[in-house]
Chain A
Amino acid sequence: MAKFITRRVIYMFITFFLIATATFFLMKALPGSPISSASKLSPTQLAIVEAKYGLDQPIPVQYAKYMLNLAQGDLGNSFQFKNASVTDLIIDRLGPSMILGTQGLVLGVTLGILLGMIAALRQNTIWDYGSTFVAIIGISIPSFVFATFLQYWFAVKLELFPVALWKDGWMSSVLPSIALAMGPLATASRFIRTEMVEVLNSDYITLAKSKGANGFEVAFKHAFRNALIPLVTVLGPLAAGLLTGSLVIEQIFAIPGIGEQFVKSIMANDFSIIMGTTLFFSAFLIVVIFLVDVLYGIIDPRIRLSGGKD
């Protein structure tokens, strides 16, 4: 296990290093400097600004500086927000994004597991078809379409929830959380259904029945745990999906989160925020995927004791 973790941590750093490098050189490969394209400055002014941001130095020096700063958690300064530190900007925006992400994930996964269980235990009944239908809808309808319609019906037409803005406390987070939850809900319910059906047909379930276990014990004591463990493996893709979702949903509901800031920066060509957020997202996903692998090893006894799959 220790060897497995060490190996994974090394990969994590290599991956992150590569992303950071790629991001940096992509930016450098751009014709002109980000400042010249964004503002109307005289050549002298431009030179002053470039010197201020260190853009007049040779590229390897800039790269080394950038990487050193990155190692200390410094993502540079924003061009857009009066030179504010990108790290601070991200931290400021973290709260709403985290609340939404957590609510969406918990709601989606919980409901998804429930739907998947019902579908598997009531196979080929109306319950099963119903939850399969919900899952297909959840996977198919793009989150921004779903979010827009939620907003249109429940906020604009029925006026049950605030339309947008993060001002009405928890009520403001209800619709965006539901919109975010659709993806995880669909993924989890399809996954759990497939796993449960397979587990329920397995020999050890027959053995459990032959011991005299009743339906409840069979479903929850024996089948549920075995169906649930593999769900951990989709948490990585789910987290990635949440990020994708948050970009548009924060935009639609005007929530002051990281995603909304990111999209605005893309529009405003604020490269330091784009780069900073990109690196932040990458780091987040890399860590999630790593944690998922470790977690899987911890909860599955087969991997726990044999020390990793590879």
Chain B
Amino acid sequence: MKQDLQKPPADSFERIKIDASHAERITKPSMSFWQDAWLRIRKNKAAIVSMFILAFIIIMAFVGPLISPHDAETQTITHANLPPKIPGFEKLGIMDGVGTLAGKEVDLYEMKKVDTYYWFGTDGLGRDMFSRVWEGTQISLFIAFVAALIDMVIGVAYGGISGYYGGRVDDIMQRIVEILYGIPTLVIVILMLSFMDPGITAIIIAITITGWIGMSRIVRGQVLKFKNQEFVLASRTLGASNNRIITKHILPNILGIIIINTMFTIPTAIFFEAFLSFIGLGLQPPDASLGTLINDGYKLVQFQPHILLFPSIIISLLMIAFNLLGDGLRDALDPKMKD
């Protein structure tokens, strides 16, 4: 603490007036919750890559069957069990139409005198796997999105009513949930399916019949938390109606969590559909989803691994991408993670 007596210029000690409001000025640009979340998710490479993968798969699910030279239903028995062959790739030694026949590597396209290309090969009935895989993806995605949407609607409504009205209503609704929650999902789903006509509707009902419970519990917890917070009480004191409180104050605050949870419902629904189809409870031919395609492929895995390979890759990519995107959204939207 030595004294520094070096002489500063004389006018240095002139008093200046600093506007105090200056110091209060907010220097960072103000951002809405969603802008902020978008900035965060943009930094998350895994989530961004997942978004592109998902976009690609979803687009292909619709465009894929159209761009393939063959459609999904035509059965060309003479073209059965062909391995994948893609123009351009053949010179690289992969996807060149070569498969094993009786232990020997042969070009099956040449042998069967096929002069067209099956990008993902064909199945045992000579159907084009490329078209079938993308149509299956379409169906799987459709089931997953519809199931997730229904889960969300029922879950939000049930949880919201239970949490917002509270008291006796909440008590009764929660006892019901408590008992439903004790029933294993798998058991209900299988039970439902063994008594319903198999099909897309049956699968969606089976998946959603207990699927909404998770969402309803989360929403109820959030509503309970927010409904007693000061800003809601303040708004109530000012005479806001229930409608206004729910739509203007509570819903915007729990929207993030609803989105995150829905994001995780989608892969669960994809998995359940595929699982049910795999054990034979799901879609029946001629409908095909990723699950039924995998089931078909599994039966032939020793001889025609390509039939299993492509639907497996697509479903794995879908699941990974949805989970990573869900993780990314959670990190971006969850205020707890904010620094």
Contacts and interface: CB of A to CB of B under 8 A. Distances in A.
Interface of A: 11-12, 14-15, 18-19, 22-23, 26-27, 29-30, 136-137, 139-142, 144-145, 148-149, 151-152, 156, 240, 243-244, 247-248, 251-252, 263, 266-267, 271, 274, 278, 281-282, 285-286, 289
Given A251-B279, A267-B280, A281-B184, A136 B320 contact: yes
B183 A140 contact: no
A240 B188 CA distance: 12
Contacts of A149: 312
Given A148-B298, A152-B301, A156-B302, A142 B274 contact: yes
A19 B194 CA distance: 15
B281 interface: yes
B276 to A, nearest CB: 10
A38 B294 CA distance: 28
A14 B179 contact: yes
Interface centre among A12, A144, A278 (most CB of B within 10 A): A144
A263 B279 contact: yes
Contacts of A282: 183-184, 187
A248 B182 contact: no
Given A15-B179, A139-B323, A149-B312, 9 more contacts: A14-B179, A18-B183, A19-B187, A141-B316, A141-B320, A144-B274, A240-B186, A247-B279, A266-B280
Interface centre among B187, B194, B312, B324 (most CB of A within 10 A): B187
A148 B187 contact: no
B179 A11 contact: yes
B313 to A, nearest CB: 9
Given A137-B320, A142-B315, A149-B312, A281 B187 contact: yes
B113 to A, nearest CB: 30
28 contacts: A15-B179, A15-B182, A18-B179, A26-B195, A27-B195, A136-B324, A140-B267, A141-B319, A142-B316, A144-B274, A144-B298, A148-B294, A148-B298, A151-B301, A156-B301, A240-B185, A247-B279, A248-B278, A251-B279, A263-B279, A266-B190, A266-B280, A278-B191, A281-B187, A282-B184, A285-B184, A285-B187, A289-B182
B126 to A, nearest CB: 23
Given A136-B323, A281-B187, A285-B187, A145 B275 contact: no
A248 B279 contact: yes
A244 B182 contact: no
Interface of B: 178-179, 182-187, 190-192, 194-195, 267, 271, 274-275, 278-281, 294, 298, 301-302, 305, 308, 312, 315-316, 319-320, 322-324, 327
Across the A-B interface, give the 4 residue pairs with the lowest CB-CB distance, nearest first. Answer: A140-B319, A15-B182, A285-B184, A140-B320
Contact of B323 (A14, A140, A244, A248): A140
Contacts of A29: 195
Nearest to A286: B182
Nearest to A278: B187
B191 A23 contact: yes
Contacts of A243: 184, 186
Contacts of B316: 140-142, 145
A69 B255 CA distance: 49
B135 to A, nearest CB: 19
Contact of A142 (B184, B194, B275, B322): B275
Contact of A145 (B179, B192, B312, B322): B312
B194 A274 contact: yes
Contact of B275 (A26, A148, A152, A244): A244
Nearest to A8: B182
Contacts of B194: 266, 271, 274
Contacts of A139: 319, 323
Given A240-B184, A243-B186, A148 B178 contact: no
Contacts of A156: 301-302
Nearest to A15: B182
A14 B271 CA distance: 30
A43 to B, nearest CB: 25
Nearest to A152: B301
B186 A22 contact: no
A252 B298 CA distance: 9
A266 B322 CA distance: 31
Contact of B191 (A26, A140, A145): A26
Nearest to B264: A139
